[in-house]
Amino acid sequence: SRRLCAGLGLRVLYLDQTPYGSALTDRANQFIRQRCAELLAFRRANGFAELGRLSGKLLGEIVPRRLGELFESPDRLSDDWLFPRPTEVRPAWLQLERDLDRPVARLPLEPDLARDMARYLGDWQQGAFPPRGRAARALWDTLGDIDGLRPGNAETVREESVQPAAGITSLGHAGLLFDDGTTRVLIDPYLPPRSSCYPANRQPASVTNVGRPDAVLITHGHADHFDLNSLLRCGADTPIVVPYVARETVLAADMASRLRELGFRAVHVMAPGQQIVLGSVRVTALPFYGEQPAEDAVLHPEVRNTGLTYLVEMPAHRLLALADTGRDPAGDVRDLARSVALGGPVDTVFGPFRGTGIYPAQYVASALARNLPFVPRWLWQTAQKQMCDIEDLLEVGSRCRARRVVPYAAGGEPCYWMRGVGRTPHVSRDDDPMQLEPLAEDVVKTADLRRRNASTPLVVPLRAGQRLAVAQPASPRPA
């Protein structure tokens, strides 16, 4: 039998025939950038900081002229922009990639193949023999032609996977593995393919190494948290928990229906306040505040980057995973932390810390260009903080009565920063907003200063592959 190679990336490409783009593709961002090309030209000529300093003036000149068709009135966006029709966005191709997302093959996703994609790729991840179906066999043969398959079966996969050990392992960026010795739960796995582009000792984790989980939790639909390459390798019957999305919007895909159309058969939809028991682990879904177009007010507050945060309770540990949260008109993660503490102290908080402000005009030079139309005109000259900054994270930890705080969701490995996710260490460029973000080490320094005047939990940065014990706040050790 043969199994999927860890050095191969699997990218589902969607045919997006909506007027302006959807949450599943980059077309909405591209539309904003193309229409606001003058802002990008201004940034190239004058720098990122100057683009922010003159944000209100520039947007006042450009938005009515270049983005007017998106608005039904000054404070009302059109439904064509807000609600792309799901039937006009469908999985059309499976692109096979190596190294830094370099395409090596692309196959059309016929309906029969798309509906069984999770089953086929999940089985092939474990080791399998050639399938009988025509479309599946064509994919299998293509994988063989590009060295995307290697000898192996389920037994060799088990031998190569991380042996069960109670603890919380960082898989890089926002990816976490919770393991109490009997149940293994993944959250937001984003595991790019291995590559010679990265140092031998800084290769990304893979589903082969981690092993098939008992369940997966997804916080929100951004590509660095909802990664189909990783999920497809987990198999069709692995339970996957996703946020409830009432209606697909330009800011939020309906992750449940999108997983099911690729053949996932154990998708669980949750809303804040609901609980699910996964083996020996109890998971409580909590609100996702932050990472919205603006902090204080937005046009169409019903259209948001929908997500969940999770309280994960193992027999001897309470863990809070906050992803990219912060503050928005619907709420504040700091208040959420206080309410969580009513049920008892939290042992470990995993939270964001990169909340540097971004002026609305600067959105066009970021991965969140689609946010721009949602910012009310009276906030065009006000910096918007997408998520917690360092002080916010430490305050969240204090309000949770947490024993320790782990700053995360900041890239931190070559496979991420080479894809534009997180800051590249030892690089500082004023014209690149990503390189202005703090590093996890800065959280430690701020906590040391803060501890002189306020109760502050222990800060424990984790590199990918390091594990925290769940019985006591130990130093990280290699997995």
Cα(149)–Cα(7) distance, integer angstroms: 10
Rounded to two decimals, the pTM is: 0.95
Specify the number of domains making up the chain: 1
The percentage of residues in the chain with a pLDDT greater than 90, rounded to a whole number, is 87
pLDDT tens-digit series, residues 275-333? 999 999 999 999 999 999 999 999 999 999 999 999 999 888 999 999 999 999 999 99
pLDDT of res. 157:
58
Find the CATH number of the domain harbouring 411: 3.60.15.10
What is the band of 477 on the pLDDT scale with cuts at 50, 70, 90? very low
**Where does the pLDDT of residue 430 fall: very low under 50, low under 70, confident under 90, or very high at 90 and above?**
low
Looking at the domain assignment, is residue 261 inside a domain? Answer: yes
Q: What mean pLDDT comes out for the span 191-204?
A: 94
Residue 171, domain extent: 163-464
Residue-level pLDDT at 208: 86
Give the pLDDT band (50/70/90) at residue 471: low
Report if residue 393 sits inside a domain.
yes
More confident residue, 471 or 43: 43
Q: Is residue 244 part of a domain?
A: yes
Is 70 exceeded by the pLDDT of residue 432? no
Assigned domain for 337 exists: yes
In a domain, 22, yes or no: no
Q: At what angle do helices 117-126 and 134-145 cross, to 10 degrees?
A: 40
What pLDDT, on a 0 to 100 scale, did the predictor assign at position 473? 40
pLDDT of residue 436: 74
Say whether pLDDT at 122 is over 70.
yes
The pLDDT of residue 71: 98
Please report the pLDDT score of residue 431 as a whole number: 60
Residue 478 has pLDDT above 60, yes or no: no
Half-sphere exposure of 113 (CA within 13 A, CB side): 20
Question: Picking from 131-135, 370-374, 451-455, which range would have the lowest pLDDT averaged per residue?
Answer: 451-455
* pLDDT reported for residue 479: 47
Neighbours of 110 (CB within 10 A): 14
474 confidence band (pLDDT: 50, 70, 90): very low
Residue 254 lies in a domain: yes
Q: pLDDT of 384-422, one tens digit each?
A: 999 999 999 999 999 999 999 999 999 999 999 999 999
In this predicted structure, the answer to whether residue 153 has a pLDDT above a threshold of 90 is: no
In a domain, 93, yes or no: no
Q: To the nearest whole percent, how much of the chain has pLDDT over 70?
A: 94
Between the CA of residue 394 and those of 20, 380, 404, what are the distances in Å? 39, 29, 10
- Tell me what pLDDT residue 194 has: 94
> What does the H/E/C string look like for 63-76?
HHHHCHHHEEECCE
> Is residue 472 pLDDT above 60, yes or no?
no
* pLDDT tier at 435, thresholds 50, 70, 90: low
Per-residue tokens: 397: 């930890």
On average, the pLDDT of the chain sits at: 93
Q: Does any domain span residue 39?
A: no
Instruction: Kindly state the average pLDDT of the residues 220-231.
Output: 98
Rounded to whole angstroms, what are the CA distances from 473 to 162, 322, 349, 384, 447? 22, 19, 12, 34, 16
Of 354, 321, 3, 347, nearest to 152 by C-alpha is: 3
What pLDDT, in 10s, does the model give residues 63-107? 999 999 999 999 999 999 999 999 999 999 999 999 999 999 999
